[in-house]
A and B are shown apart, each in its own frame.
Chain A
Amino acid sequence: MTLSVVGYYEPWWIQIIKAIVIFAVALGILPLVIVYERKLIGRFQNRYGPNRVGPFGLLQPLAEIIKFATKEAFRPSTSVGVLFRLAPVISILTAVAAFALVPFGDVQHIFGTPVGLYGVDVSIGPLYLFAFGAVAFYGIMLGGWSSGSKYSFLGAMRGAAQLISYEVSQGLALVGVIFTAGTLSLTGIVHAQEGMWYVVPQFFGFLVFLIAGFAETNRAPFDLVEADAELVGGYFTEYGGTGWIAYMFAEYLNVLVVSGIVTTVFLGGWLLPFGIHPPGWVDPFVVLAKMFLIVTFFIWVRSTLPRLRYDQLMSFGWKILLPLATLNALVTAVLVVVTH
Chain B
Amino acid sequence: MSAILFFIAAIGVIAGAIGVVTLSNPFYAVLSLVGHLLSLAVLFLLLRAEFVAAAQVVVYAGAVMVLYVFVVAYVGDEQQSLRSTLARRSRSRGADGRRPTGVLFAGALLVELLIALLGSGLKAVEGSGAPYAPGSRTFGTPAYIGNLLLTRFLLVFEVTSLLLLIAAVGGVVLARRRGGLDESVDIDYAPLAIPRPLGTGTMAEAVEGPSLAYAHAGVAEAGSPTESEHDGSGGGW
Interface residues of B (CB under 8 A from A): 27, 31, 34, 38, 41, 50-51, 53-55, 57-58, 61-63, 66, 69-70, 73-74, 132, 134-136, 141-142, 201-203, 205-207, 236-237
Contacts and interface: CB of A to CB of B under 8 A. Distances in A.
Contact of A138 (B34, B201, B205): B34
Nearest to A168: B63
Query: Is the interface on chain A under 10, 10 to 19, 20 to 34, or 35 or more residues?
Result: 35 or more
B66 A127 contact: no
Given A135-B38, A157-B73, A123 B57 contact: no
A339 interface: no
A134 B73 contact: no
**Which one of B27, B74, B142 has the greatest number of beta carbons of chain A within 10 Å?**
B142
Contacts of B38: 135
Contacts, number: 89
Interface stretch (A26-34, A47-55, A59-67, A311-319): A311-319
Contacts of B141: 123-124
Nearest to A132: B57
Given A4-B136, A310-B237, A314-B236, 14 more contacts: A4-B134, A7-B134, A9-B134, A123-B51, A124-B50, A124-B54, A131-B58, A131-B62, A135-B38, A145-B73, A153-B73, A160-B66, A160-B69, A311-B206
Chain B interface SS verdict (over half): helix
Contacts of B51: 123-124, 127
Interface in A125-181: 127-128, 130-131, 133-135, 137-138, 141-142, 145, 153, 156-157, 160-161, 164, 167
A183 B201 contact: no
Interface in A3-61: 3-4, 7-9
Given A145-B27, A164-B66, A123 B58 contact: no
A164 B63 contact: yes
A259 interface: no
Contacts of A138: 34, 69
A185 interface: yes
Given A123-B142, A145-B73, A160-B66, A131 B135 contact: no
Contact of B57 (A134, A141, A309): A134
Contact of B206 (A3, A124, A185, A312): A312
